[in-house]
Structure 1
Amino acid sequence: MNKLLTLVLLFATLCSCKDKSKLNNSSAEEKPRIAIAGLGIESSTFSPARTQEEAFHARVGDSIFSRYPFFAEDAEIRNRAEWIPTFLGKALPGGVVTKEAYESMVSKTLAMLKENGPYDGLWFDIHGAMSVEGLLDAEGDLIKRIREVVGPDILISTSMDLHGNVSKELAHQSDLITCYRLAPHEDALESKARSITNLLNRLESGKGKPKYKAWIPVPILLPGEKTSTRIEPGKNLYAKIPSVESLDGVIDAAIWVGYAWADEPRNHAVVMAYGDDKEQVTQGAEKLAKHFWDVRHQFDFVAPTTTFNESLRLALQSENKPYIISDMGDNPTAGGAGDVTWTLREILGRGEFKSEDGPALIYASIPGPELIEEALKAGVGGNVKAKVGASVDDRYSPPIELDGKVTAIKKGDRDAEVEVVVKVGSVSVIVTKKRKPYHHERDFTNLNLNPRTTDILIVKIGYLVPELYDIRGGWTMALTPGGVDQDLERLGHENIKRPMFPLDAQMENPDLSARLIPLSNE
């Protein structure tokens, strides 16, 4: 009996050892389980527009992969982890997100995270400038609620736009955090891939959460049109980041310009660095913050800036085509409602454009669902007469009645849904069912318009995206009215922290020492 018992125990021990060995080998080969979630939008609190859930064009589950080339099936990043994509919503910049829309999307995100856990990590893909009714720190609220589901110990890597805002709460709940280093954001995909690679490296190495996170609020609030990295001082400021990132004991460093068109305490610039060496992390962050503050007076608009009438005068005198005018005040890529009619009214009132033989001008664009309906009935070549614009933001100019010939109709655009070109005199007005910014040459050629040969091209954006920048014959940024007015003093911030440069231009030098933020599980 004792011999039999001994054999049984020996067998059990061998099996146990074999199982443990198998478990150890399995864990060595097992890929980390990483969830994907996030909501992204820039929200102007100075616009009367409100953003609903449908504007986020949410992707759920595996459909998220198709948004990013680094998640292609044969891509390295895709194959380094077991990815669990949940809910990802990205909207055009716009007005404040309704509480109902926000809660609906958050509920869906949390439900999917609960259903598919546990996780080793989470990639938190956001913009960072989302404003929600009743909240002063939407992304801080969102990541905190995500933490309540996934727990304080998993690694979260947060990927952001440099025009986002980093509150203390967001810095605390994020283990790794970074943002773009170029404006325009030509490095967007590269930055997102960096945020994921940092997460994978910490999980695969077993190093886990970085020991130190330095956070420095910099009391500067400037629009993106003054902080482009195409020119100085932004170019040199952001060029200093790699020298900090390369320090031993530093994983990443980042500079956030912040978002100027929202009125919340978190709206200001921020510098962060994180890693395992306290001295290098803090000194690196302080170096960047000090340089940012030292060059604050050098920031200026990325292009010549003047009144709209002066912009038109320069455009009409120019021999270089196309002369591009940025209609900045209602820029939907920064959060404007996109339907302010003030600029279009000025154009149509000018005698130069009354005749078909006048200077060729393309205006992009104005929402007008009423005109769209009439244009679909009339067809290409037909005449239409209907009101456009100012259904959301009529503070500066009422709706305009367009009376002209339909020269193009296009259906199926994700944002605009339907696009129509109406010719009024020598002006080709692009009318959309829903607002849409026009960035790419194909946006025009798809409507039988040639932006390269037109005399004047007017677009509702601020600084030009690379594709338009490369074809410009001349360019001015017009100081037009709207929800993203470049005159920040005229907007009237009440809730930001003061003093704030440049609103308080003579303020004393701030405390730019690093604040060490506790780890997410502390």
Structure 2
Amino acid sequence: MAPPAPQGRRLRIGIGGMSIESSTFCPHRTTYDDFRITRGAELLDRYTWTAADGDLAERVAWVPLVHAVSLPGGPVERDTYDRIKDELTDRLRRAHQDGPLDGLVYDIHGAMSVVGMEDAEGDLTDAVREAIGPDALISAAMDPHGNVSRRFADRLDLLTAHRLAPHEDAWETRERAARKLVERLVSGKGRPHVAWVQIPVLLPGEKTSTRLEPAKSLYGRLAAVEALDGVVDAAVWVGYAWADEPRCRAAVVVTADDPVLAVEQARSLAREYWEVRRDFVFVGPTGTADACIAEAVASPARPFLISDSGDNPTAGGAGDLAYVLGRLLAHEELASGRVTALHPGITDPAAVAECFTAGLGATVRLSVGGAVSAGTGEHAAPYALTGEVVALRRDDEVGGDLAAVRSGGVTVVLVSRRKPFHTRADFGELDPRGYDLVVVKIGYLEPELYEMAADWRLALTPGGVDQDLLRLGHHRIERPLYPFDDAEFDTPDLTPRLLTR
């Protein structure tokens, strides 16, 4: 148990972490330049509850360390990981020179893969614990699509995750992690009992959205469990489906001052998850790319959105596949221009450069797509595109240089750096509401897109985050595991373990 809160001084609590989800099936590799690194005041500005005029200001002196966050992608290069880990742990050690840290708000994702490693967050957390020492409390704020290995959870004192998917409560989760930490330190209660259990189920996020049952009710229980006398927090993790590692599976953690209650509630949540595993369904109507395009063309609903889910860069896809572009222009109504479509976000810096050289209004003949994925399958083959350059934009904060090319009724937006298109602002001068169809590289629709869509389909397309998990080729996950082992297998032991350190 941690010592009581210090008398006569404010608590010193560090903030830092490293956040990315990484598909091991994606040929992209994440480098240092892919991360946004924040330190000092810029880091503190990310969190409203660190404000000098906030209600925690009198009790807490926040110590900014370093935070690194990247758009999801392929595994992190080892030298990049080591560089960020070393800075985080060095800053933790240096922070002790001004007095010991009482705690750490550990802002991570939970689904980071690193080239040559098996449990990156486990390794990172080992190093963080060693640097901060055994007495400080660590409170982790996570994404439910992360993984919770025992090695990882053993080193933490508090851990929680978002309760909504899409993650509209992401910042609320970080604040909850911080406030729970402060409460423990002020009270002097120290580390609560941590009841941890993994569940042999691994599903994509598009099947576990809290917009639908059973996830809606399962996640909806968490606030009520947290409210029980003696419970500190309750969290459920779906796990990350596109990494081929033993730790990838669902998990439940309940933290409580009452160990019996912690185990009881964790077991109940885990059993419910197991019992409803076959009830999880995709968050929207699905089909092949061709089937979704045909339905969209025939529908009167406008705009009709289609998710190119297998190449979703915000789940870890490369974002460079022109597969759906080819399927759009294979449809006569779209190729002729009788029906219009907007397809943003294919990453191809060479094609973008050609468009800028040619200039606005020029006709270009491009080889589009496969910038990093070429050679990984037929779906990754470049597409021969002939069209007119209809828009150019320099120095987008995320996508770098952007070029829009129109061929028939299809306008494709090419980007020089991987960029998601989740909000109206992401589209810039091209208004998606002015097209019949809009294809986005995404899974479930983010809130603005969901509100915009008159109708939509989730296209089960190939790529590094293919929703059809069985065709990806996992071979290092622990078996049996649903849905890879679809036949009935013995009910697993879902007895939570009480973790101590």
Larger radius of gyration between Structure 1 and Structure 2? 1
Match of 1:335 among 287, 298, 316: 316
Report the equivalent of 1:75.
54
Paired residues for 1:138-217 under 5 Å? 138-210=120-192, 212-217=193-198
Displacement of 1:315 after TM fit?
0.3
* Per-residue Cα deviation, 1:388-437 (whole angstroms, up to 9, x for no partner): 21021122232223322222222232321111111111111010001111
The alignment's C-alpha RMSD in Å is 1.5
Rounded to whole Å, the distance in 1 between the matches of 2:308 and 2:482 is 25
CA distance in 2: counterparts of 1:35 and 1:497, whole angstroms: 35
Question: 3-state SS of the aligned residue for 2:353?
Answer: helix
Question: 1:171 Cα deviation (Å)?
Answer: 0.9
Q: Paired residue for 1:270, among 229, 236, 251?
A: 251
d(CA) in 1 for partners of 2:389, 2:206: 34
Question: 5 Å matches for 1:493-508?
Answer: 493-505=474-486, 506-508=488-490
- 1:472-506 per-residue CA deviation (whole Å, 9 max, x = no partner) reads 11111111110111111111211111111111121
Which segment is superposed worse, 493-502 or 152-161? 493-502
1:151 is matched by which residue type in structure 2?
A: G
Distance 2:384 2:298 in 1: 29
User: Cα offset for 1:78?
Assistant: 5.1
Cα distance in 2 between the residues matched to 1:40 and 1:71? 20
Answer yes or no: is 1:245 the counterpart of 2:212. no
Question: How far did residue 358 of structure 1 move?
Answer: 2.1
Q: Distance in 1 between matches of 2:156 and 2:394?
A: 41
Question: Which among 71, 74, 77 is matched to residue 98 of structure 1?
Answer: 77
CA distance in 2 between counterparts of 1:74 and 1:453 reads 45
Tell me by how many angstroms 1:242 deviates: 1.5
What amino acid maps onto 2:365 in structure 1? Answer: K
Kindly indicate whether residue 426 of structure 2 is the aligned counterpart of residue 443 of structure 1.
yes
Q: Give TM-score scaled by structure 1 length.
A: 0.91
What is residue 385 of structure 1 aligned with on the other side? 365
- Alignment of structure 1 residues 399-478 onto 2, 5 Å: 399-444=382-427, 446=428, 448-478=429-459
Out of 271, 277, 285, the residue aligned to residue 266 of structure 2 is: 285
Give distance in 2, aligned partners of 1:217 and 1:67: 32
**Separation in 2, partners of 1:328, 1:489:** 15
- Structure 2: how far apart are the matches of 1:371 and 1:457? 21
Q: Would the aligned equivalents of 1:248 and 1:280 in 2 still touch at CA under 8 Å?
A: no
State the distance in 1 between where 2:440 and 2:8 align: 53
For 2:398 and 2:106, how far apart are their aligned partners in 1?
24
In 2, are the aligned partners of 1:40 and 1:91 still within 8 Å (CA)?
yes
Structure 1, residues 7-63: CA drift from partner, whole Å, max 9, x if none? xxxxxxxxxxxxxxxxxxx95341110111111111001111111111111112221
2: CA distance, partners of 1:433 / 1:418: 5
1:358 equivalent to 2:338? Answer yes
* Equivalence for 1:18: none
**Does the Cα contact within 8 Å between 1:411 and 1:417 map onto a contact in 2?**
yes
CA contact (8 A) 2:50 2:62 kept: no
Partner secondary structure for residue 362 of structure 1: strand
Larger displacement relative to structure 2 (454-463 or 113-122): 113-122
Structure 1 counterpart of 2:342, one-letter code: I
Q: What is aligned with 2:470?
A: 489
**Greater CA drift, 225-234 or 201-210:** 201-210
Give the equivalent residue in structure 2 for 1:296.
277
1:374 aligns with 2:354: yes
C-alpha separation between the residues in 1 aligned to 2:208 and 2:246? 21
Give the whole-Å Cα distance in 1 for the aligned partners of 2:122 and 2:252.
Answer: 17
Query: Is the Cα contact below 8 Å between 2:310 and 2:463 reproduced in 1?
Result: yes
Name the amino acid aligned to 1:89. Answer: A
Q: Distance in 1 between matches of 2:448 and 2:56?
A: 29
Q: What is residue 28 of structure 2 aligned with on the other side?
A: 49
SS of match in other structure, 2:74: strand
Distance 1:450 1:79, change over 3 A: farther
Deviations 1:360-382 (A, max 9, x none): 10002211211222222333333
Amino acid at match of 1:399: P
Paired residue total: 490
Aligned to 2:300: 319
Q: Which residue type is aligned with residue 310 of structure 1?
A: A
Whole-Å Cα distance in 1 between the matches of residues 458 and 262 of structure 2?
39
Structure 1 segments unaligned to the other structure (5+ residues):
1-25
> What is the TM-score when the length of structure 2 is the normalising length?
0.95
Measure how far apart 1:108 and its partner are: 1.3
Alignment partners' CA distance in 1, 2:397 and 2:126: 32
Alpha carbons 1:500, 1:507 under 8 Å: kept? no
CA pair 388-110 structure 1, distance change in 2 beyond 3 A: same
* Larger displacement relative to structure 2 (50-59 or 250-259): 50-59
Return the letter of the residue paired with 1:142: L
Please show how residues 226-245 of structure 1 align to structure 2 within 5 Å.
Answer: 226-245=207-226
State the 4+ residue runs in structure 1 displaced beyond 6 angstroms: none
- Relative to 1, partners in 2 of residues 1:112 and 1:345: Cα closer, same or farther, differing over 3 Å? same
Contact 1:41 1:128 (8 Å CA) reproduced? yes
Q: Tell me, in whole angstroms, the C-alpha distance in 2 between the residues paired with 1:290 and 1:122.
A: 32
| Partner Cα distance (2:90, 2:385) in 1 | 47
Amino acid at match of 1:359: V
What is the identity, as a one-letter code, of the residue corresponding to 1:231?
Answer: L
Pair 294,379 (structure 1): closer, same or farther in 2 beyond 3 Å: same
Report the CA distance shift for 1:77/1:421 in structure 2 as closer, same or farther (over 3 A): farther
